A and B are shown apart, each in its own frame.
Chain A
Amino acid sequence: GQQVMQIPQYQHVQEGEDFTTYCNSSTTLSNIQWYKQRPGGHPVFLIQLVKSGEVKKQKRLTFQFGEAKKNSSLHITATQTTDVGTYFCAGPPTGNQFYFGTGTSLTVIP
């Protein structure tokens, strides 16, 4: 089945530093989605990428979809304490199942 791997698993940064999480798939993806889950909260849909090489920005967040559509990244510029949480990527359904990545837990040190 589809494997979606995320690295790193944990990341601690000083406030103001940049942060990047990577998502890698063993198969070509038709699209990829990103979600954020705050501690004690629920996942929140951030964005969906569809096109090869696509880059989308949401304020300080930059999302990229690789040319081969097998990997994706989320980059946060100048992190703030409000960025704390776990960031998940998710591939399109395999059959009817959605596979979420293992997540990257971001801690921002003030």
Chain B
Amino acid sequence: DIQMTQSPSSLSASVGDRVTITCRASQSISTYLNWYQQKPGKAPKLLIYAASSLQSGVPSRFSGGGSGTDFTLTISSLQPEDFATYYCQQSYNTRTFGQGTKVEIK
């Protein structure tokens, strides 16, 4: 099975900060990598698919990059509504999620 490792597990940041979350796959997954945002008590919401494609309706401050085994999710200017948990997920072989990164208010 493909393992996905996110870092950091949590971070504290302020409104307006630039935030980057990384995700590493245990083997190459090409660009079969997606990013989701989840808020407490809610189902996850797709932000980025195919490593770098912004889902319709998602603000442009969110961006994704990478291919192969190393990927990033960047929020260029953190907004109050962005405090949430973020997950990467591979779809190269079955499906696997990273363990999540909780973004908290500093």
Q: Do A and B bind each other?
A: no
Which residues of A approach B to under 8 Å, CB–CB? none
Which residues of B approach A to under 8 Å, CB–CB? none
